[in-house]
Chains A and B, each alone.
Chain A
Amino acid sequence: MKRFLALSVVLLTGLASAVGLGCDEKKDGGTPSGATATGAGGAKTETLQTFRFINRNDVITLDLNQMSYMQDFRVTYALREGLYTYDPRTMKAVPALATEVTTSPDQRVWTFKLREAKWSNGDPVTAHDFMFSWRHMLQAPGEYTSLFYYFLNAEEYEKAYTQGKPTDGIDLGFRAIDDRTIELRLKDPLPFLTDLLAFPPMYPRNEKSMLAFKEVSRDGKVTYKPEYTKPSPGPGKPGVVTNGPFELVEWEFGRILMMKRSPTYWDVANVASPALEMVVSNDPQQAFNMYEQGEIQWITDPTPQQSVDLKEAGRKDLQVGPGFGTHFITVNCAPEVPGVIKGKNPLADVRVRRALNLAIDKKAIVDTITRMGEVPAKSYMPPGLFEGFEPKPGADFNVEAARKLLAEAGYPGGKGFPSISIVFNTDSPVRPSVAQFLKNEWQKKLGIPIEVKGIELKGYRAAIKGKDYALGLAAWFGDYTDPSTFTDKYRSSAQNNDSNWAVAAYDKLLDDAAKEIDPAKRFDLLERAEDMINDELPVIPMWHAVAVTLRKDNVEGLYLNPKQLTMWKPVRATK
């Protein structure tokens, strides 16, 4: 009996301590207390102390070199600032750290004067911070380093540095004339430069604060441990230094990210919320529970099914608008795809691609699967995105024409067509259904044998990148406000050209457009490039994306925009 009691006591204490260890005390920032602010019209409304939101799954990294996900950029817009920023309502680039801007007559040389601004550790923001950050983007390239290629000799510098060759002889196109002046030389005139400069890869960084994280590899290459992006673990210890409206207070991956208004920010008077808290939730129903119970004020991306249900319930807090991208079927145009397609690749024939495109009832997809009022896509780029850019519209749904084309290509009624698969990533809520829909459509209407293949995300990306597929469900979203963010993807040498589609005439159009100074002529050339894509169909467009977001009625300052950019200064929730 005694042994039993002793054993139970030991087990119970063990259990209790395990439970205690597991509990996390909530750090500061839980109880909302008001801070009065003057709302529109002079009426005083209290601002919620902490603005809480759910930002997709979680932030992957805050290192500017390696950043590529939308949610990472969203947090970076709160923490950091560059020469330009985006206006919260119009999303046009407006000056932030840049005050006076002058350009040379040929528009290739830009000079920026910096305003007086401070880093979160008190250091002044200087031109050197930009030089350091930009140079480092070339030294440790990431997914957006190619944006720097517009700068004179940047690509050469990157190649030389990464290959270990000397870089002293290279006349790099950006330099600091003095502490507060930057001179930037471009390869060719760039109409969307200010837009580009508002994008996080172009932001400055404080070199001094990163020295503690510097590492030099055996062959002399400099890198900075990405831990430089985390808040200081304790007083006196090195941590992240930022220059934006908010400072990073705490970041636990997979749980929470907390920011507070930065007292050193030059425009702190116009930062509406005292604190921001990004909560991580991997379960959409949990996220929705928290939203309904008022624990969070904003869900940046409700799931497609949630969006449909909310829309059908007539919920006013759901905001839907056009998006900045298109969902399409990426096609492998190589003459042969060994291991994937038996024999020659039917998709190499443009008539087959056109037939596939003409045979899809895209309206049915939008009406029955996605159901958020998307526009069925006839073209690769969403229409009406850029003023003055008017390519020809693409082809309409036409099953008869599709059948004729297929017969012309040598597969009448689908006879002789080898079995091909549509590949998609299994974690997508919508793509499995779309793939099955397409299989059904093409089998019924064209008689061709199609299979459906779901692969988990990284395997899927490896298959697409390695061009180890026949057809794949994919999407592309633009990064900056210019048609080239879409057209550049299908250059024959482009990193993101997954279609094995290499047409010299297309490349020439893009090259000419890059050198063209007259904006109307430039758009003309790019329109012809877009027309070529819609005609030759290295991608078969399906529907144009929508931007959907869910926010409480008491939230001000959040404006839905196609790129889903979040400019944090005016954002606040009222009580």
Chain B
Amino acid sequence: MSAATESILYKTAEGVPDTLLRRIWASGRVRVGGGILLAVFLTCVVSLPWTMSPTSSIYYDGQRNLPQLAKPASGAPAWFGTDLLGRSVLARCLMGGAISMLIGVAAAAISVVLGLAVGLIAGFKGGWIDSSLMRFVDILYGLPYFLLIILLKVACEKPLTSLLGNPQAANLVVLFAAIGLVSWLTMARVVRGQVLSLRGQPFIEAARAMGLPSTRIFLRHVLPNLVGPVIVYATLIIPQAILQESFLSFLGVGINPPLPTWGSLAGEAREYALNSLNPRWWLLVFPCAMLGVTLLCLNFLGDGLRDVFDPKREAAKL
């Protein structure tokens, strides 16, 4: 519903219009989730000039600056301990956070674009276009994802490296594509479902009856109502994308070292930390803590936003 309609229906006791933004702010989940998320995000991003500079003490690839495999100790670079090559785990976690979140957002962006496009076409056109698009989605679900990734890497990494001039960038772009290409499927289904249900609503029929052109109906009436679910799902795709990258790293087709992501740090740490002889717990605990907190917040944020965007939720009280 448009903001104008909403403000008519939802006036709080004091008479202050209960707009969307206010409701977002009021939701506890959004505040807590979003707040912590913002804090983590800012820390990782703000520290980038230091984590990316070879001369700083928290350079993400500062090999042999510190003793190897050392427990957390005093002195900022050593707070989270060090890894096999004597690098600061703190530095790698910060840089890894920036990259993981970048991957998450990029994958979400790709999913939104693709999912909106396909979902809208399927929902609006209906008929055989809808069926074939949905069957196409079914087929994509059935294909071996791992194989697709390998092929995507093989096909794209070389041309991208020549295009972008930098193999690290090429690797990242391939990862965005690989993860985005999987996540868009759910987005398409969601958008299609929403379009289908909207089409049946009286106010759309009314608008048509009034003679409004299709584009106007689309832009002023359908699209605003899609914003909600799309934002919610996009927020929920980000954690999935970050986990997907960790799975790809586990399989050996993830990000190229020495660039870290939380997922690849966790994967590398596995054999050093999860063993019964000499567990180097700090290699796993810190990346996982940051990863877990961020993902929990993202999930919380998504849930909170979903609650906000659908007024029916508030009415439920036993």
A and B touch in the complex (CB under 8 A): yes
Write the B48-71 contact mask toward A (1 if CB under 8 angstroms, else 0). 000000000000010110001000
A312 at the interface (CB under 8 A from B): yes
Give the chain B neighbours of A496 by CB distance below 8 A.
Answer: none
Query: Shortest 7 CB-CB distances between A and B: which pairs?
Result: A426-B252, A309-B277, A456-B252, A309-B278, A440-B63, A451-B167, A436-B258
A432 at the interface (CB under 8 A from B): yes
Give the chain A neighbours of B268 by CB distance below 8 A.
Answer: 432
Question: Is B277's CB under 8 angstroms from A306's CB?
Answer: yes
Which chain A residues numbered 227 to 284 have a C-beta less than 8 Å away from chain B?
A: 284
Give Cα A429–Cα B84 distance, bound, in whole angstroms.
Answer: 12
Give the chain B neighbours of A288 by CB distance below 8 A.
Answer: 275-277
From A285, A313, A452, A456, give the contact of B253 (CB < 8 A): A456
Question: Is A368's CB under 8 angstroms from B256's CB?
Answer: no
B113 at the interface (CB under 8 A from A): no
19 pairs of residues in contact across A and B, judged by CB atoms under 8 Å? A285-B276, A288-B277, A292-B276, A305-B271, A306-B277, A309-B278, A313-B278, A339-B158, A368-B64, A369-B84, A419-B167, A421-B167, A426-B252, A432-B257, A436-B258, A439-B258, A456-B150, A459-B153, A459-B154
Q: B85: shortest Cβ distance to chain A, in Å?
A: 6
Question: Is B274's CB under 8 angstroms from A285's CB?
Answer: yes
Which chain A residues numbered 364 to 386 have a C-beta less than 8 Å away from chain B?
A: 364, 368-369
Nearest neighbor of B275 in chain A, beta-carbon distance: A285
Which chain A residues numbered 458 to 500 have a C-beta less than 8 Å away from chain B?
A: 459
Question: Is A305's CB under 8 angstroms from B272's CB?
Answer: yes
B86 at the interface (CB under 8 A from A): yes
Question: Is B278's CB under 8 angstroms from A459's CB?
Answer: no
Which chain A residues numbered 294 to 337 have a C-beta less than 8 Å away from chain B?
A: 303, 305-306, 309-310, 312-313
From B167, B272, B276, give the contact of A453 (CB < 8 A): B167
Q: A295: shortest Cβ distance to chain B, in Å?
A: 15
Which chain A residues numbered 428 to 460 have a C-beta less than 8 Å away from chain B?
A: 429, 432-433, 435-437, 439-440, 451-454, 456-457, 459
- Beyond contacts A285-B271, A310-B277: 13 other A-B pairs, Cβ-Cβ < 8 A, are A285-B275, A306-B275, A309-B278, A339-B158, A368-B64, A368-B68, A426-B253, A435-B257, A436-B85, A437-B63, A439-B258, A456-B150, A459-B150
- Number of chain B interface residues as a range: 20 to 34
Nearest neighbor of B277 in chain A, beta-carbon distance: A309
Question: Is B158's CB under 8 angstroms from A429's CB?
Answer: no
B contacts, CB < 8 Å to A: 61, 63-64, 68, 84-86, 150, 153-154, 158, 167-168, 251-253, 256-258, 268, 271-272, 274-278
- A339-B158, A439-B258, A454-B256 known; A368-B85 Cβ under 8 A: yes
Give the chain B neighbours of A433 by CB distance below 8 A.
Answer: 84-85
Q: A364: shortest Cβ distance to chain B, in Å?
A: 8
Q: B174: shortest Cβ distance to chain A, in Å?
A: 12
A178 at the interface (CB under 8 A from B): no
Give Cα A339–Cα B161 distance, bound, in whole angstroms.
Answer: 10
Q: Is the interface of B mostly helix, strand, loop or mixed?
A: loop
Question: Is B61's CB under 8 angstroms from A436's CB?
Answer: yes
From A289, A305, A436, give the contact of B63 (CB < 8 A): A436
Give Cα A369–Cα B84 distance, bound, in whole angstroms.
Answer: 7
Counting residue pairs across A and B whose Cβ atoms lie within 8 Å, the total is: 76
- Number of chain A interface residues as a range: 35 or more
Give Cα A182–Cα B275 distance, bound, in whole angstroms.
Answer: 54
A400 at the interface (CB under 8 A from B): no
Centre residue among B61, B64, B153 by max chain A CB count within 10 A: B64
Give Cα A432–Cα B268 distance, bound, in whole angstroms.
Answer: 10
Give the chain A neighbours of B167 by CB distance below 8 A.
Answer: 419, 421, 451, 453
Give Cα A436–Cα B63 distance, bound, in whole angstroms.
Answer: 9
Q: A338: shortest Cβ distance to chain B, in Å?
A: 10
Q: A454: shortest Cβ distance to chain B, in Å?
A: 6
A contacts, CB < 8 Å to B: 284-285, 288-289, 292, 303, 305-306, 309-310, 312-313, 339, 364, 368-369, 419, 421, 425-427, 429, 432-433, 435-437, 439-440, 451-454, 456-457, 459
- A421-B167, A437-B63, A456-B251 known; A368-B84 Cβ under 8 A: yes
Give Cα A263–Cα B117 distance, bound, in whole angstroms.
Answer: 71
Give the chain A neighbours of B274 by CB distance below 8 A.
Answer: 285
Give Cα A457–Cα B158 distance, bound, in whole angstroms.
Answer: 18
Give the chain B neighbours of A313 by CB distance below 8 A.
Answer: 277-278
Q: A236: shortest Cβ distance to chain B, in Å?
A: 40
Question: Is B252's CB under 8 angstroms from A305's CB?
Answer: no
Q: A283: shortest Cβ distance to chain B, in Å?
A: 10
Question: Is A284's CB under 8 angstroms from B252's CB?
Answer: no
Nearest neighbor of A434 in chain B, beta-carbon distance: B85
From A419, A427, A439, give the contact of B252 (CB < 8 A): A427
Question: Is B256's CB under 8 angstroms from A452's CB?
Answer: yes
Give Cα A289–Cα B274 distance, bound, in whole angstroms.
Answer: 12
Nearest neighbor of A369 in chain B, beta-carbon distance: B84
Nearest neighbor of A427 in chain B, beta-carbon distance: B252
Nearest neighbor of A451 in chain B, beta-carbon distance: B167
Question: Is B85's CB under 8 angstroms from A451's CB?
Answer: no
Give Cα A451–Cα B158 distance, bound, in whole angstroms.
Answer: 14
Give Cα A310–Cα B278 distance, bound, in whole angstroms.
Answer: 9
Nearest neighbor of B63 in chain A, beta-carbon distance: A440
Give the chain B neighbours of A305 by CB distance below 8 A.
Answer: 271-272, 275
Give the chain A neighbours of B278 by CB distance below 8 A.
Answer: 309, 312-313
From A284, A285, A437, A453, give the contact of B256 (CB < 8 A): A453
Give Cα A439–Cα B64 distance, bound, in whole angstroms.
Answer: 13
Give the chain B neighbours of A457 by CB distance below 8 A.
Answer: 252
Give Cα A436–Cα B252 distance, bound, in whole angstroms.
Answer: 16
Q: B274: shortest Cβ distance to chain A, in Å?
A: 6
Nearest neighbor of B268 in chain A, beta-carbon distance: A432
Question: Is B277's CB under 8 angstroms from A437's CB?
Answer: no
Give the chain A neighbours of B154 by CB distance below 8 A.
Answer: 459
Q: B230: shortest Cβ distance to chain A, in Å?
A: 34
Question: Is A452's CB under 8 angstroms from B258's CB?
Answer: yes
Give Cα A284–Cα B277 distance, bound, in whole angstroms.
Answer: 12
Give Cα A427–Cα B168 distance, bound, in whole angstroms.
Answer: 20
Give Cα A453–Cα B61 distance, bound, in whole angstroms.
Answer: 15
Centre residue among A310, A436, A437 by max chain B CB count within 10 A: A436
Give Cα A436–Cα B83 distance, bound, in whole angstroms.
Answer: 13
Give the chain B neighbours of A440 by CB distance below 8 A.
Answer: 61, 63-64, 85
Give Cα A249–Cα B52 distance, bound, in whole angstroms.
Answer: 59
Q: A467: shortest Cβ distance to chain B, in Å?
A: 15
Q: A286: shortest Cβ distance to chain B, in Å?
A: 11
Give Cα A425–Cα B252 distance, bound, in whole angstroms.
Answer: 8
Centre residue among B61, B85, B252 by max chain A CB count within 10 A: B252
Nearest neighbor of A339 in chain B, beta-carbon distance: B158
Give the chain A neighbours of B276 by CB distance below 8 A.
Answer: 285, 288-289, 292
Nearest neighbor of A468 in chain B, beta-carbon distance: B158
Give Cα A427–Cα B268 distance, bound, in whole angstroms.
Answer: 11
Q: A289: shortest Cβ distance to chain B, in Å?
A: 7
Give Cα A426–Cα B252 distance, bound, in whole angstroms.
Answer: 5
Give Cα A426–Cα B64 distance, bound, in whole angstroms.
Answer: 22
Give the chain B neighbours of A459 by CB distance below 8 A.
Answer: 150, 153-154
From B86, B153, B271, give the contact of A368 (CB < 8 A): B86
Give Cα A433–Cα B69 distance, bound, in whole angstroms.
Answer: 13
Give Cα A435–Cα B275 distance, bound, in whole angstroms.
Answer: 24
Give Cα A25–Cα B150 distance, bound, in whole angstroms.
Answer: 38
Give Cα A425–Cα B257 distance, bound, in whole angstroms.
Answer: 12
Give Cα A432–Cα B271 distance, bound, in whole angstroms.
Answer: 14
